Amino acid sequence: MDDIEKGFEALMQKIDALQENEKALAGKVKENEARLLKKMAASAVPVVKQVGLNMLRRGKQDTKGEIYDPQYYPQKMIVLGKSEQPSAFRPDNPSMPVVDQFCVLSEDGDFFELMYSFDGFLTDSCLNPVTPQKALELYGYDVMFMLYRAMHDYLKNEEALLASLEVVIGYVFGKKQQE
């Protein structure tokens, strides 16, 4: 065996070792995916409190489909996923079919399924708590990606706001902008 073959064989052994290590680490991440999602949610709480939405709890719809007399949940939430196949009925009322179902993260760092029902006049919802593991089982890795993406977009917007404020302050105090 010449030096080239020995070198190539050594490369192949290193590649095999790296791939085995990659499989082991990926398995470890998979085992701890719910733990990771829970930690991400806890870290995101201050942002959710700032940019979260007040989600509709209940509202009446007029003949044009417009909501009036709306009632909202008190805590803010961000939407992390939507179910392609909503549950057949709500856990709080089996006679209420689910029209739309979302995975949301509350400003308290808790995950919920937000289930909407509509009877032709009233849009009503149920906020069903779920664990991070259950959120991953029901909505897949989309919830983790959307949480990451929401924090990424928030950071970008904050950076743009800060840059704009620096320009305004420079203008107000007559400082020339550096290019």
Secondary structure string (H, E, C) spanning 48-59: HHHHCEEEEEEE
pTM above threshold 0.85: no
Contact between 178 and 166 (Cβ < 8 Å): no
pLDDT tens, residue by residue, 123-167: 999 999 999 999 999 999 999 999 999 999 998 988 988 888 888
Q: Enumerate the β-bridge partners of residue 125.
A: 116
Kindly state whether residue 35 falls inside one of the protein's structural domains.
Answer: no
Residue 177 pLDDT grade (very low, low, confident, very high; cuts 50, 70, 90): low
Domain containing 125 equals 44-172
CA distances from 170 to 88, 167, 174, 177 (A): 58, 5, 6, 7
pLDDT tens, residue by residue, 58-111: 999 888 888 999 999 999 999 999 999 999 999 999 989 999 999 999 999 999
Kindly state whether residue 151 falls inside one of the protein's structural domains.
Answer: yes
Kindly state whether residue 20 falls inside one of the protein's structural domains.
Answer: no
Number of domains comprising the chain: 1
Contact between 64 and 170 (Cβ < 8 Å): no
Say how far apart CA 138 and CA 131 lie, in whole Å.
10
Kindly state whether residue 178 falls inside one of the protein's structural domains.
Answer: no
Kindly state whether residue 70 falls inside one of the protein's structural domains.
Answer: yes
Q: Return the number of other C-beta atoms located less than 10 Å from residue 3's C-beta.
A: 7
Kindly state whether residue 22 falls inside one of the protein's structural domains.
Answer: no
Kindly state whether residue 168 falls inside one of the protein's structural domains.
Answer: yes
Kindly state whether residue 137 falls inside one of the protein's structural domains.
Answer: yes
Say how far apart CA 22 and CA 20 lie, in whole Å.
5
pLDDT tens, residue by residue, 9-50: 988 999 988 888 888 887 887 788 999 999 999 999 999 999
Residue 168 pLDDT grade (very low, low, confident, very high; cuts 50, 70, 90): confident
